[in-house]
Structure 1
Amino acid sequence: MEQRKQASRAAVICYGFGDLASQFVWTFVGSYLTIFYTDIVGFAPIVVSAIMMGARIWDAVNDPLMGAVAERTRGRFGRFRPYIAFGCPLLAIFAVLTFTNPFGGNSTASIIWATFTYVAAGMLYTLVNIPYGALAGVMTEDADQRNKINTSRNIGMNLGMVIVNALSAGLALRFSTAGAAVADGKGYMTTAIIYGLVSIPLFLFVFATSKENVQPVGEPQKFSFTGTINNLVKNKYLMIVTLVMALQMTAFMGRIAVTAYYVIYCLGSFTMIGLVMTIPSIGGIVGSLFVPYFAKRFGKRNVLIGSMIIQGIGLLIIYAAPFDHMNMVLAGCWIFGLFNVGFPMTLSMVSDSVDYMELKTGIRTDGTAYATYGLATKLGNAIGGSAGVLILGLFGYVANAEQTAEALKGINMVVNLIPALLFFLAAAACFLWKMSDGDAEEIRKQLREKHSKAE
């Protein structure tokens, strides 16, 4: 029987700790930094939009560079694991710094500081998470185990979101100035410190338990930025799954960036943030338990399509719900969450696209391919945050004030309707993917034969 290199059971389980750690730093930043900028620091929506989109323009260059550097790294700890171990403390530090405003107010110095800390935090997220994502594709040659590894990651992501969404508002309010009705700058910064300290050992668990079993054949290619981009663009399946991820992440992560506005102003309660944002994450954990079974039975692409369509329906239910009809709002949240299971599928499809490209060209691009996932995550968060606050401004949003009916309509549209439409578009884009799971397995079989001859 053909022997496939596989990850240990401990590695599969502990792999999810990496995305759990990421939620403590990056999801907290994504969920609360926008409202920290507008309601605490006092930045105008257009300033927030400029900071976030400027950072993402830089990421379009930085993320593929990091992927290329990582996949060319050779050392005793492998190509990807060292960046997880040595980068996670710096990521935690800069996640805290984004919630500081040492110059006070919305001065030019404050804008420069906010830009510097946000860009640096994004670069450090890239430094840690692109190697972390690429690691999943080199831990095993077995397709079913890859699905399990990425399911472990999805469970870690949703568990992290449950904790962050359930605790953040309460913690931020608890550590704010006594008597505050909503969280202030001190509360946000203290919460970020706690989360940063928790994230570091979780990342180190991944470093300690994982092993890079799939190695590229031959010496690494000499680095060329244009060559790196060409390798990505020529991989048609990577481009398809990147398009899907960009739409999927803008819908999901972008929504997270502005959900606090919906809960505070539409539902009328800061403390409700925990409930409304936690339910979808709990649903995601439950739904993720069934992903390996359904992926094996129906195929990755079909599971992905179905999950995103039903997520969109859940958001439409929330959008249609009157603001005082909490049962309808929560029902939509549960539907949205239970089918939040598409991320393991897109990650496994990235692995399939890497295998496809290696067979076609002889070049294995784990790092740069997974850079597209990290870039899609940050783009989604930034587009949702920056475009979201701009749209809110157009509808007449005013920070820390009672909103007009028009402004409330704009908030509901940005948080629920637009993400639903993006999920439907992402599901439609999946039909461009023509590689079946059987085709992907045949590609891996040919690669194993090729590697065994080269050894």
Structure 2
Amino acid sequence: MTAAQRPLPRGVVARYAIGSIGTGGFATLPGLVLVYYLTDTLGVAALAAGAVVTAAKVWDVVIDPWIGDRSDRALARHGTRRTRMVVGAVTLPVFFALTFAVPPGIGPVASGVWVALAFLATATSFSLFQVPYIGLPAELTPGYDARTRLLTWRVVVLTIAILLFGAGGPEVREAFDDEHVGYLVMAIVAGVAIGLGMLVATTVAPRRAAAKQEADVSDVLDAPPAPDASPATPAPEVAADPGGGIRGAYRDGIAVLRRSRAFRVLLSVFVLQGLATGLMLAGAQFVATWVLHDRGAVTYLFVALIAPAVLCAPIWGVIARHIGKERGFGWASAIFAVAALALVGLAFAPGPWVYAPVALAGAAYAGMQSLPMAMLPDVISHDARVHGDERAGSFSGVWTAGETAGMALGATVLSIVLALTGYVESVAGQAVEQGPAAVLGIVLAFSVIPAALVAASLVGIRRYPLRRADIEPVSAVEGAVR
């Protein structure tokens, strides 16, 4: 094995992957319980609850390109993206706990405002970490397969985190007779775990000479050269003064969208799939409570979804090495769409059989996460090579904004479906019954609508233009084939 083919150090792969404890926790727990907390504990109307969650996510969409621009600027001036990542990791646990710390009895309107402001601050902290975190793989290694390995293990940790937070969070909540106390303890425990995971990941952010490229990433990490590196290809320059305030940040974001067709295609696919998975995530608790008639069944739904995902994430990595990331991504998406569509049977015969299609969806979900995440650094490095300047922060800012928008709109679509089908909200301790239309709406939001969204994304996957030969030199491709 040549020096150019030596893999990333295991410590770097592990520390980067641990960051997904934070991203998995924040993406999962609010999406799973926040709308339900608002409607069934605080008595907030369904549409208003959806608006609260959506407002924070829209704020993310607004600020993520700016944070990406600041990240590029920090790299140019100070040689690292780490500082803002640390700020986000330290502040998020505080704001996350405040989100679920609404005092009992203050009324639905005041409760909704409290949650909106606290969750807005939480989302801001998360973006400070997540935007530069998403852009790091393009800097950590130039190798096509090395990025697949890096992102595969990130998704393994991500799926474990989804399982722990998705199944464990409600269990912590249910350990207390008082719902308000249960939610608060859940938020404190989860917030600390999220923050610690993020802090570990900040340690892999490369340090290099400000506004220069003399320092190689592997030198910074005291590790052997990154795999499949091409000595003949000079590293793109980091613009010394990227952007120009928030207007410049949006200008740069629009610029990377315009100049990279591959990015436009990949982002549109990921947003559609984020909308589908966000809708199913927000609906899981409602399915458990009103379709399966067991609020605790949400834990089993998550185990059924995530256990196969943990096992299958490395398998999708192997598949990608043999047939390409884009083809593997297409297969994973198609399988997920079929599994989601099968869940429509809940409308006619709810029962334990539901865990089988959920498990199939989980196996496919691993590929739907790891492969596009491994394709994003390919897009970033290809763009840098073509245009001669590195805009990883701008790319990751737009990507995170799109991902956030997709997940947020999932909760919004659910709240609209609930409102249209006559869902009855309640406060803690109040017993209500849902009509047949509301139950059917929950099932459709958990099955047919997500399946249609993922099926539509397959059109975009077919249009993705990059292949292995576009990312690595011909010699590296031939070596990989052999």
TM-score, normalized by length of structure 2? 0.85
User: Which residue of the partner structure matches residue 220 of structure 1?
Assistant: 240
Look up the equivalent residue of 2:131 and give its one-letter code.
I
Looking at structure 1, the residues matched to 184 and 159 of structure 2 have their Cα atoms a distance apart, in angstroms, of 23
**Letter of the structure 2 residue corresponding to residue 146 of structure 1:** R
Question: Aligned pair 1:438/2:469, yes or no?
Answer: yes
Which of 325, 328, 334 aligns to 1:309? It is: 334
- 2:199 matched to 1:204? yes
Match of 2:141, SS state, is coil
Match of 1:95 in 2: 96
2:413 maps to 1:387: yes
What is the distance in 2 between the residues matched to 1:251 and 1:353? 23
State the distance in 2 between where 1:153 and 1:376 align. 20
Q: 1:47 & 1:259 partners in 2: Cα distance?
A: 19
Please report how far the alpha carbon of residue 174 of structure 1 lies from its aligned counterpart in structure 2 after TM superposition.
Answer: 0.4
Q: Which residue of 1 aligns with 2:210?
A: none
Matches within 5 A, 1:301-450: 301-321=326-346, 325-340=350-365, 341-400=367-426, 401-442=432-473
Q: Do the aligned partners of residues 75 and 104 (structure 1) sit closer, same or farther apart at CA in structure 2, a change above 3 Å counting?
A: farther
Greater CA drift, 217-226 or 242-251: 217-226
Query: Is the 1:26–1:95 Cα contact (8 Å) retained in structure 2?
Result: no
Q: Deviations over 1:290-324 (max 9, x none)?
A: 12211010111111011011011111122224565
2:473, 2:396 → 1: CA distance? Answer: 22
Give the 3-state SS of the residue equivalent to 1:339 in structure 2.
helix
Alignment-mate amino acid for residue 228 of structure 1: D
The alpha-carbon deviation at position 412 of structure 1 amounts to: 0.2
Q: In the superposition, relative to structure 1, how do residues 158 and 218 fare at CA in structure 2: closer, same or farther (>3 Å)?
A: closer
State the alpha-carbon separation in 1 of the partners of residues 434 and 272 from structure 2.
29
- Look up the equivalent residue of 1:317 and give its one-letter code: A
Number of residue pairs the alignment of both structures matches: 439
Partner of 2:9: 8
> What is the distance in 2 between the residues matched to 1:50 and 1:31?
16
Runs of 4+ deviating beyond 4 Å = 75-78, 212-216, 322-325
- Deviation, structure 1 residue 365: 1.4
Distance in 1 of aligned mates of 2:146 and 2:306: 23
Partners of 2:112 and 2:474 in 1: how far apart?
A: 50
Q: Distance in 1 between matches of 2:205 and 2:6?
A: 13
CA distance in 1, matches of 2:130, 2:48: 27
Structure 2: gaps spanning 5 or more residues? 208-215, 218-234, 427-431, 477-482
Paired amino acid for 1:372: V
Aligned to 1:187: 182
Counterparts of 2:106 and 2:443, CA distance in 1: 29
The residue type equivalent to 2:165 in the other structure is V
Q: Please say if residues 253 and 381 of structure 1, whose CA atoms lie closer than 8 Å, have aligned partners that are also in contact.
A: yes
Is 242-251 or 42-51 further displaced after alignment? 42-51
Q: Give the structure 1 partner of residue 310 of structure 2.
A: 285
Q: Is the 8 A contact 2:61 2:405 kept in 1?
A: no
Match of 1:230 in 2: 254
Separation in 1, partners of 2:391, 2:398: 11
- How many angstroms apart in 1 are the aligned matches of 2:3 and 2:173? 54
Contact 1:267 1:323 (C-alpha < 8 Å) held by counterparts: no
Identify which range, 47-56 or 205-214, moves more after superposition: 205-214
| C-alpha displacement of 1:139 | 0.9
Give the secondary structure class of the aligned counterpart of 1:61: helix
Q: For the residues of structure 2 that align with 1:444 and 1:380, how far apart are their CA atoms?
A: 39
Q: Which digits, 9 at most, give the CA deviation of each residue in 1:74-95, with x for residues without a partner?
A: 3898432333323212111111
Q: Is the 8 A contact 2:236 2:388 kept in 1?
A: no
Letter in 1 for 2:197: L
SS across alignment from 2:296: helix
Q: Percent identity?
A: 21
Which runs of 5 or more residues in structure 1 are unaligned?
A: 178-183, 446-455
> 2:286 aligned with 1:255, yes or no?
no
Task: Give me the whole-angstrom Cα distance separating, in 1, the residues matched to 2:189 and 2:424.
Answer: 31
Q: Which amino acid aligns with 2:329?
A: L
Contact 2:335 2:361 in 1 (8 A): yes
Question: Could you say what secondary structure the match of 1:41 adopts?
Answer: coil
The answer for the alignment partner of 1:112 in structure 2 is 113
1:210-229 Cα offsets, whole Å, 9 max, x none, are: 54655752542342234312
Root mean square deviation of aligned Cα = 2.3
Q: Is the 8 A contact 1:20 1:202 kept in 2?
A: yes
Q: TM-score, normalised by structure 1?
A: 0.90
Amino acid at match of 2:359: W
- Could you tell me how far apart the structure 2 residues matched to 1:391 and 1:444 are? 53
Contact 2:76–2:241 at 8 Å: present in 1 too? no
CA distance in 1, matches of 2:27, 2:93: 9
